[in-house]
Amino acid sequence: MKFKVADLLSFKKKSVKPEPGVQYHVYSLPGFDNRQTPEFLMGEDIKSTKYAVQPKTILMNKLNVGFKRVWLIDQPLDNSIASTEFIPLSVSSKDELNLQYMYYFLTSREVTEVLKKASTGTSNSHQRINADLIADLDIDLPSLREQKLIADKLATLDSKITLNQEINDNLLELLSVQQRQLIQSRPTSLKSISMLATKTMSGGTPSRKVDSYWLDGTIPWLKTKEIGDIVASFPEEFITEFGLENSAAKMMPANSVVVAMYGNTSGEVSWLPFESTMNQATYSIDSSVNEYLYVYLRNAKQELHNMATGSAQQNLSKKVLDAYEIPVPDDEHLDRFSRLAKPVMLKIGQNAKQIQTLVSLRDRLLETLLG
């Protein structure tokens, strides 16, 4: 049966002014990007009014809907509030709607593309939607039983994805603990990335005006939006050999360390388990101690971000990153760490590949089951 989303969900915003001395769980954009973990903040540290978070709510991000920052909340934590960058959507017709089914509908590729095209803003990087756009969406709603069956199948895949992500988080934390203990217990010397690396480089973008640089391309081309997770996301775009030869794009070997250099993503660090080219906003490191560099830089990403400079946009540069110094133990202990870390990073890469496969399967099922 056909419905408008407005027939099933209502936009109910209840503003909350955080009180000093009160602890809040804040559903924010940074919290979503951090494995969908609400931030835990004191009222005095929250500088703006927020929305109250009610049970059985979907928080739909207004900003840059292509990132799919959509939060499904069954029972919120105590003192839960949400950034006003989210649209809180509550069930208005419980007899006809499974909320988890609606969540998957709102995160589907078709809906995302419709909302992206309707977004407005002063710049390409800050495009927003409003509640009316969501309310006007058409949805074909099967029976409650079918909704639950579909939602359960998709949720099973999401659970497997989350499990692999948690395993990778724990493996990386183990390496971080080992590295901190090594640095604290052994004499170290400061060495720049360029001193430790076999090669560092930034990339480039083949001309979009030349079809032969892009059409039927098979060479992965990495952008900064694909950097940030423990392992870099597999690129959305591909270039041709001709595009590689006739541009500043460069090929990075598998098991490189990649750092985002431009704008809000500057300082983000990922492991690259596959060969890829990259754009000019990306910096890569190839060395015999990549595992050590990766773990250290991953934990220093806020410091790296703070080093970005510029008037219109805060950016890092290859020169700045080449000169960045990190504490390094003697060769014997550095080699020990590398030997410990190599199989761990291999496992992290394998888990990331499985995550990618599961995400692809989930998205295909999503289109089929909701189609």
pLDDT tens digits, residue range 230-259?
999 999 999 999 999 999 999 999 999 999
Q: DSSP secondary structure string, 63-99?
A: B-GGG--EEEESSPPTTEEE-TTEEEEEES-TTT--H
Are 59 and 191 within one domain? no
pLDDT at residue 239 in the model = 97
Question: Is 184 exposed, middle or buried, given 0-12, 13-18 or 19+ CB atoms closer than 10 A?
Answer: exposed
Are 185 and 110 within one domain? no
Question: Is 95 exposed, middle or buried, given 0-12, 13-18 or 19+ CB atoms closer than 10 A?
Answer: exposed
Domain-embedded: residue 307: yes
Q: Pull the structure tokens for residue 27.
A: 């559903």
Instruction: Give me the domain span that covers residue 168.
Output: 164-360
Domain-embedded: residue 153: no
Domain-embedded: residue 30: yes
Are 355 and 301 within one domain? yes
Query: The domain that contains 247 carries what CATH number?
Result: 3.90.220.20
**C-alpha–C-alpha distance, residues 371 and 149, integer Å:** 15
pLDDT at residue 369 in the model = 83
Are 129 and 203 within one domain? no
Number of domains in the chain: 2
Answer yes or no: is pLDDT of 96 > 70.
Answer: yes
Q: At what angle do helices 99-106 and 144-185 cross, to 10 degrees?
A: 70
**Structural contact between residues 225 and 265, judged by C-beta atoms closer than 8 angstroms:** yes
Other CB atoms within 10 Å distance of the CB of residue 153: 14
**Overall size of the chain counted in residues:** 371
Are 108 and 175 within one domain? no
Domain-embedded: residue 369: no
**Alpha helix stretches (DSSP H) within the chain:** 29-33, 99-106, 109-118, 131-135, 144-185, 193-196, 241-245, 290-299, 301-306, 318-323, 331-370
Domain-embedded: residue 319: yes
**C-alpha–C-alpha distance, residues 255 and 346, integer Å:** 9
Are 214 and 71 within one domain? no
Answer yes or no: is pLDDT of 13 > 80.
Answer: yes
Residue 110: pLDDT band by 50, 70, 90 thresholds? very high
Are 210 and 294 within one domain? yes
pLDDT digits (tens, 9 = 90+) for 53-73: 999 999 999 998 988 999 999
Counting residues of the chain whose pLDDT is more than 70, the rounded percentage is 99
Are 184 and 332 within one domain? yes
Are 87 and 175 within one domain? no
Model pTM score = 0.84
Domain-embedded: residue 147: no
Are 285 and 339 within one domain? yes
Are 338 and 302 within one domain? yes
Count of alpha carbons within 13 Å of 197, Cβ hemisphere only? 22
Domain-embedded: residue 152: no
Choice among 125-129, 183-187, 335-339, 343-347 with the minimum mean pLDDT: 125-129
pLDDT digits (tens, 9 = 90+) for 186-228: 999 999 999 999 999 999 999 999 999 999 999 999 999 899 9
Are 205 and 256 within one domain? yes
Answer yes or no: is pLDDT of 94 > 90.
Answer: no
Answer yes or no: is pLDDT of 91 > 90.
Answer: no
Residue 154: pLDDT band by 50, 70, 90 thresholds? very high
